[in-house]
Amino acid sequence: MSALLPLVEIDDIEAISGETYSVAETDQIQRFIGIAQAKLRNKVPRLDERVDSQELSKELVVGTAAFAVIRALDTFRTGIRVRRQQYPEVSTDYEAAASPSLVYFTDDEIDELIDRTDVASSDAFTIRIG
């Protein structure tokens, strides 16, 4: 089995976010990228295979992974449990519990990457009696 190529790189994150990150941040971002790639490969069947065959847009995968990494970085910068900050009077609202994951994907993001031919079609129906 060959090594898997990266789905997204720091250059992609910088291009999409419009920021240039410090060395300390790039180390953290690299960790977020690793988590994002692992989660995408776990959630989306045959992801690498479909990108290689151009059945799935590489740009869509890069963008999806990049947005998850940028969300994680923003959450980390603001504060993991911070829900809202207000200025000029400094006021911070916290969530009761921290989010279960810094790096996450929305259902819509995953839906855009799923190959619907891989999902078994169901012929469900309802029979009402009486």
Q: Is the dihedral of CA 68, 70, 76, 81 positive or negative?
A: negative
Rounded to whole angstroms, what are the CA distances from 88 to 53, 84, 91, 113?
A: 52, 13, 8, 42
Picking from 2, 115, 5, the residue whose alpha carbon sits closest to that of residue 56 is 115
Joined together, the tokens standing for residue 83 give: 């829900």
Average pLDDT of the segment spanning 20-37: 94
Q: Which residue has the higher pLDDT, 1 or 47?
A: 47
1 has a pLDDT exceeding 50: no
Rounded to whole angstroms, what are the CA distances from 76 to 2, 13, 64?
A: 34, 16, 19
Q: Please state the pTM of the whole predicted model.
A: 0.75
125 has a pLDDT exceeding 70: no
